[in-house]
Amino acid sequence: MARAALGALLLLGGVLSLRAQALAADRPLRIVAFGDSLTAGYGLPRNLAFPVRLQQALAAKGLMVEISNAGVSGETMSDGLARLDWSVPEGTDAVILELGANDMLRGLDPQVTRTALEEILSRLEQRRIAVLVCGMLAARNLGDDYARAFEPMFPELAAAHHDLLYPFFLAGVAGDRTLNQRDGLHPNPAGVDAIVAHILPKVEELVGEVREHQN
């Protein structure tokens, strides 16, 4: 009798586990786009901001994803660290981390940026949240020494935390007048779409990683 009861409990447990996995696979993945004005959509209508256009591109591929816009214009890496816990709520499956441009534009000490990035990745790792780290390049007028101190932190820390890396968030867009607003810094709608097209394969990889861990 005891063996029969134990067998029934094990069977029930297996059924419930499979049901939980099925529900996890059926619900949209929750991704937080965590960044600065490049994420927030500075100078653009809300429906043309990077997180919205990226979600639409993923939907066109048949991927169920909800991307929340946690971009704040003007923020540095340290600013992002200060609001990390409440900007990335419980239930988040993955984060697209896009910060560092303002650190570079202000010429902040790269070590300060690196320390903040390290802490952000450590906290997300502790919460078992997958991360796609978006790298940033230094403006050439800041000099080679600054670039050597600033640029490697993104690939190095992404590798150290086993996170995915997209080397340069503005790849194919930076410096192209046709893809940027008048300030030359923020992408226009065409520029946002170019960013989405370039980063899409890496985000698909991120989604695949999360789904694999859920099964």
What's the whole-number mean pLDDT along residues 33-57? Answer: 98
Residue 22 has pLDDT above 50, yes or no: no
**Does the pLDDT at position 18 exceed 60?**
no
Q: Is pLDDT at 131 greater than 50 in this prediction?
A: yes
Identify the three-state secondary structure at position 196. helix
Report the share of the chain in percent with pLDDT over 70: 88
Phi, psi of 71 (to 5 degrees): -95, 135
Instruction: Supply the pLDDT for residue 134.
Output: 98
Q: What percent of the chain has pLDDT over 90?
A: 86
Question: What are the residue numbers of the active site?
Answer: 37, 183, 186
pLDDT score of 21 more than 50 = no
Q: What is the pLDDT of residue 33?
A: 99
Q: Say yes or no to pLDDT of 39 above 80.
A: yes
What is the b/e burial string over 132-161, where b = at least 16 CB atoms within 10 angstroms of the residue's CB?
bbbbbbbeeeeeeebbebbbebbeebbeeb
pLDDT at 20 over 80: no
Q: How many residues does the chain have?
A: 215
Identify which of 62, 64, 32 has the alpha carbon closest to the alpha carbon of residue 50: 32
The pLDDT tens digits for 145-193 are 999 999 999 999 999 999 999 999 999 999 999 999 999 999 999 999 9
pLDDT score of 200 more than 50: yes
Q: In the CATH scheme, what is the code of domain 28-214?
A: 3.40.50.1110
Exposed, middle or buried: residue 60 (CB in 10 Å: 0-12, 13-18, 19+)? Answer: exposed
